[in-house]
Amino acid sequence: MKSGKRRTAEDVTEGIDLTGKTALITGVNSGIGQETLRVLSLRGAHVIGTGRTLAKAEEGCAVATGTATAFECELSDLDSIRRCTEKIRSRSQSLDIIVANAGIMTPAKLNQANGIELQFATNHLGHFLLLTSLMELFSIGCRVVIVSSEAHRATPRGGIDFGNLSGENGYRALRAYAQSKLANILFANSLSRRLAGRGTVNSLHPGLVRTN
Protein backbone atom coordinates (compact mmCIF):
# COMPACT_ATOMS: atom_id res chain seq x y z
CA MET A 1 0.00 0.00 0.00
CA LYS A 2 1.37 3.38 -0.95
CA SER A 3 1.59 5.98 1.78
CA GLY A 4 2.26 9.69 2.11
CA LYS A 5 3.49 11.49 -0.99
CA ARG A 6 3.50 8.26 -3.01
CA ARG A 7 -0.29 8.01 -2.90
CA THR A 8 -2.07 9.15 -6.04
CA ALA A 9 -5.55 10.54 -6.52
CA GLU A 10 -6.60 7.13 -7.78
CA ASP A 11 -5.26 5.51 -4.61
CA VAL A 12 -7.17 7.74 -2.22
CA THR A 13 -10.44 7.45 -4.15
CA GLU A 14 -10.30 3.70 -4.70
CA GLY A 15 -13.67 2.15 -3.96
CA ILE A 16 -15.56 5.45 -4.01
CA ASP A 17 -18.57 5.58 -6.31
CA LEU A 18 -19.54 9.11 -7.36
CA THR A 19 -22.18 8.07 -9.85
CA GLY A 20 -24.96 10.66 -9.90
CA LYS A 21 -22.77 13.35 -8.30
CA THR A 22 -21.83 16.63 -9.97
CA ALA A 23 -18.47 18.27 -9.31
CA LEU A 24 -17.36 21.79 -10.20
CA ILE A 25 -13.61 22.32 -10.61
CA THR A 26 -11.92 25.56 -11.62
CA GLY A 27 -8.69 25.63 -13.60
CA VAL A 28 -8.91 22.21 -15.25
CA ASN A 29 -6.61 22.77 -18.21
CA SER A 30 -3.50 21.51 -16.39
CA GLY A 31 -1.93 20.47 -13.10
CA ILE A 32 -3.97 19.73 -9.99
CA GLY A 33 -7.23 20.79 -11.62
CA GLN A 34 -6.85 18.47 -14.57
CA GLU A 35 -5.86 15.49 -12.43
CA THR A 36 -8.75 16.14 -10.05
CA LEU A 37 -11.15 16.25 -12.99
CA ARG A 38 -9.73 13.05 -14.46
CA VAL A 39 -10.05 11.04 -11.26
CA LEU A 40 -13.46 12.34 -10.14
CA SER A 41 -14.70 11.54 -13.63
CA LEU A 42 -13.11 8.09 -13.35
CA ARG A 43 -15.10 7.52 -10.15
CA GLY A 44 -18.38 8.34 -11.89
CA ALA A 45 -18.97 12.04 -11.23
CA HIS A 46 -20.16 14.41 -13.91
CA VAL A 47 -17.55 17.16 -13.81
CA ILE A 48 -18.08 20.79 -14.73
CA GLY A 49 -14.64 22.09 -15.60
CA THR A 50 -13.81 25.76 -16.02
CA GLY A 51 -10.89 27.50 -17.67
CA ARG A 52 -9.86 31.04 -18.56
CA THR A 53 -11.12 30.35 -22.08
CA LEU A 54 -13.49 27.77 -23.46
CA ALA A 55 -10.58 26.18 -25.33
CA LYS A 56 -8.62 25.72 -22.10
CA ALA A 57 -11.65 24.27 -20.34
CA GLU A 58 -12.22 21.85 -23.20
CA GLU A 59 -8.55 20.87 -23.08
CA GLY A 60 -8.98 19.87 -19.46
CA CYS A 61 -12.28 18.10 -19.97
CA ALA A 62 -10.75 16.01 -22.77
CA VAL A 63 -9.00 13.80 -20.18
CA ALA A 64 -12.29 12.75 -18.57
CA THR A 65 -13.11 9.07 -18.77
CA GLY A 66 -16.74 9.84 -17.99
CA THR A 67 -18.82 12.92 -18.63
CA ALA A 68 -17.43 16.44 -18.35
CA THR A 69 -18.77 19.81 -19.43
CA ALA A 70 -16.49 22.73 -20.22
CA PHE A 71 -17.27 26.34 -19.33
CA GLU A 72 -15.31 29.53 -19.82
CA CYS A 73 -14.69 31.39 -16.56
CA GLU A 74 -12.02 34.08 -16.41
CA LEU A 75 -11.80 34.63 -12.66
CA SER A 76 -10.39 38.15 -12.97
CA ASP A 77 -13.39 39.19 -15.09
CA LEU A 78 -16.59 39.68 -13.09
CA ASP A 79 -18.78 39.56 -16.20
CA SER A 80 -17.20 36.28 -17.27
CA ILE A 81 -17.94 34.81 -13.85
CA ARG A 82 -21.55 35.95 -14.00
CA ARG A 83 -22.01 34.44 -17.46
CA CYS A 84 -20.53 31.19 -16.23
CA THR A 85 -22.76 30.98 -13.17
CA GLU A 86 -25.83 31.67 -15.29
CA LYS A 87 -24.92 28.78 -17.60
CA ILE A 88 -24.24 26.44 -14.70
CA ARG A 89 -27.57 27.31 -13.04
CA SER A 90 -29.40 26.70 -16.30
CA ARG A 91 -27.89 23.24 -16.75
CA SER A 92 -27.35 21.88 -13.23
CA GLN A 93 -29.82 21.10 -10.48
CA SER A 94 -27.23 20.65 -7.76
CA LEU A 95 -23.50 20.68 -7.02
CA ASP A 96 -22.11 18.00 -4.73
CA ILE A 97 -18.38 18.70 -4.94
CA ILE A 98 -16.71 22.06 -5.52
CA VAL A 99 -12.93 22.45 -5.90
CA ALA A 100 -11.76 26.06 -6.14
CA ASN A 101 -8.39 25.31 -7.65
CA ALA A 102 -7.54 27.89 -10.31
CA GLY A 103 -5.05 30.62 -9.54
CA ILE A 104 -2.03 32.61 -10.56
CA MET A 105 1.25 33.00 -8.66
CA THR A 106 3.81 35.78 -8.36
CA PRO A 107 3.78 37.63 -11.69
CA ALA A 108 6.94 39.70 -11.87
CA LYS A 109 5.14 42.97 -12.57
CA LEU A 110 2.05 44.52 -11.06
CA ASN A 111 -1.11 43.66 -12.98
CA GLN A 112 -4.62 44.68 -12.02
CA ALA A 113 -8.23 43.74 -12.66
CA ASN A 114 -10.84 46.40 -11.89
CA GLY A 115 -8.22 48.30 -9.93
CA ILE A 116 -7.33 45.30 -7.72
CA GLU A 117 -3.96 43.53 -7.81
CA LEU A 118 -4.44 40.58 -10.15
CA GLN A 119 -3.55 37.72 -7.78
CA PHE A 120 -6.03 38.90 -5.15
CA ALA A 121 -8.66 39.58 -7.81
CA THR A 122 -8.26 36.13 -9.38
CA ASN A 123 -7.38 33.80 -6.52
CA HIS A 124 -9.82 35.19 -3.97
CA LEU A 125 -12.39 37.64 -5.33
CA GLY A 126 -13.12 35.57 -8.44
CA HIS A 127 -13.73 32.41 -6.44
CA PHE A 128 -15.71 34.35 -3.84
CA LEU A 129 -18.13 35.61 -6.50
CA LEU A 130 -18.31 32.25 -8.27
CA LEU A 131 -19.08 30.19 -5.18
CA THR A 132 -21.44 32.61 -3.46
CA SER A 133 -23.38 32.99 -6.72
CA LEU A 134 -23.91 29.22 -6.85
CA MET A 135 -24.70 28.49 -3.20
CA GLU A 136 -28.34 27.82 -4.01
CA LEU A 137 -27.16 24.73 -5.94
CA PHE A 138 -25.01 23.30 -3.14
CA SER A 139 -26.52 19.95 -2.21
CA ILE A 140 -27.08 18.64 1.29
CA GLY A 141 -23.79 17.00 2.22
CA CYS A 142 -21.81 18.96 -0.35
CA ARG A 143 -18.04 19.16 -0.01
CA VAL A 144 -16.18 22.36 -0.87
CA VAL A 145 -12.40 22.52 -1.15
CA ILE A 146 -10.51 25.78 -1.61
CA VAL A 147 -6.87 25.43 -2.64
CA SER A 148 -4.77 27.79 -0.54
CA SER A 149 -1.05 27.65 0.30
CA GLU A 150 1.42 27.69 3.19
CA ALA A 151 2.60 30.87 1.51
CA HIS A 152 -0.25 32.61 3.33
CA ARG A 153 2.27 33.05 6.16
CA ALA A 154 4.20 35.60 4.05
CA THR A 155 1.52 38.28 4.35
CA PRO A 156 2.36 41.75 5.65
CA ARG A 157 2.32 42.20 9.43
CA GLY A 158 -1.30 42.18 10.49
CA GLY A 159 -2.46 40.06 7.55
CA ILE A 160 -4.18 41.50 4.49
CA ASP A 161 -3.22 45.08 3.68
CA PHE A 162 -6.66 46.41 2.79
CA GLY A 163 -5.17 49.83 2.18
CA ASN A 164 -3.13 48.50 -0.73
CA LEU A 165 -5.31 45.98 -2.54
CA SER A 166 -4.46 47.79 -5.75
CA GLY A 167 -0.77 46.99 -5.26
CA GLU A 168 0.14 50.52 -6.25
CA ASN A 169 1.58 51.42 -2.86
CA GLY A 170 4.46 48.98 -3.17
CA TYR A 171 4.13 45.68 -5.06
CA ARG A 172 5.91 42.57 -3.84
CA ALA A 173 4.80 39.51 -5.80
CA LEU A 174 5.06 36.89 -3.04
CA ARG A 175 3.45 39.15 -0.45
CA ALA A 176 0.55 39.84 -2.79
CA TYR A 177 0.19 36.12 -3.48
CA ALA A 178 0.25 35.43 0.26
CA GLN A 179 -2.60 37.89 0.82
CA SER A 180 -4.73 36.10 -1.75
CA LYS A 181 -4.04 32.74 -0.12
CA LEU A 182 -4.85 34.05 3.37
CA ALA A 183 -8.11 35.40 1.92
CA ASN A 184 -8.82 31.89 0.58
CA ILE A 185 -8.49 30.48 4.10
CA LEU A 186 -10.65 33.17 5.69
CA PHE A 187 -13.30 32.64 3.02
CA ALA A 188 -13.25 28.88 3.61
CA ASN A 189 -13.70 29.42 7.36
CA SER A 190 -16.58 31.82 6.82
CA LEU A 191 -18.26 29.60 4.23
CA SER A 192 -17.91 26.63 6.57
CA ARG A 193 -19.95 28.49 9.19
CA ARG A 194 -22.58 29.46 6.61
CA LEU A 195 -22.94 25.85 5.45
CA ALA A 196 -22.94 24.32 8.94
CA GLY A 197 -25.26 21.31 8.97
CA ARG A 198 -25.53 21.38 5.19
CA GLY A 199 -22.01 20.72 3.91
CA THR A 200 -18.30 20.88 4.69
CA VAL A 201 -15.69 23.40 3.57
CA ASN A 202 -11.93 22.99 3.82
CA SER A 203 -8.90 24.91 2.60
CA LEU A 204 -5.61 23.14 1.95
CA HIS A 205 -1.94 23.48 1.10
CA PRO A 206 -1.34 21.20 -1.89
CA GLY A 207 2.40 20.85 -1.29
CA LEU A 208 5.09 21.63 -3.81
CA VAL A 209 3.66 20.64 -7.16
CA ARG A 210 5.50 20.64 -10.48
CA THR A 211 2.87 22.32 -12.68
CA ASN A 212 2.75 25.44 -14.78
User: What is the mean pLDDT for each group of 10 consecutive residues in the chain (212 residues)?
Assistant: 77 96 97 96 98 97 95 98 97 96 95 97 98 97 96 88 95 96 98 96 88 74
Using CA atoms, how far residue 33 sits from 58, 67, 122, in Å, is 13, 16, 16
Tell me, what's the pLDDT at 1? Answer: 53
Is the torsion defined by CA of 128, 130, 131, 134 positive or negative? positive
pTM: 0.94
Annotation says 177 is catalytic: no
Which listed residue (171, 186, 192, 204) is catalytic?
Answer: 171
Tell me, what's the pLDDT at 3? Answer: 62
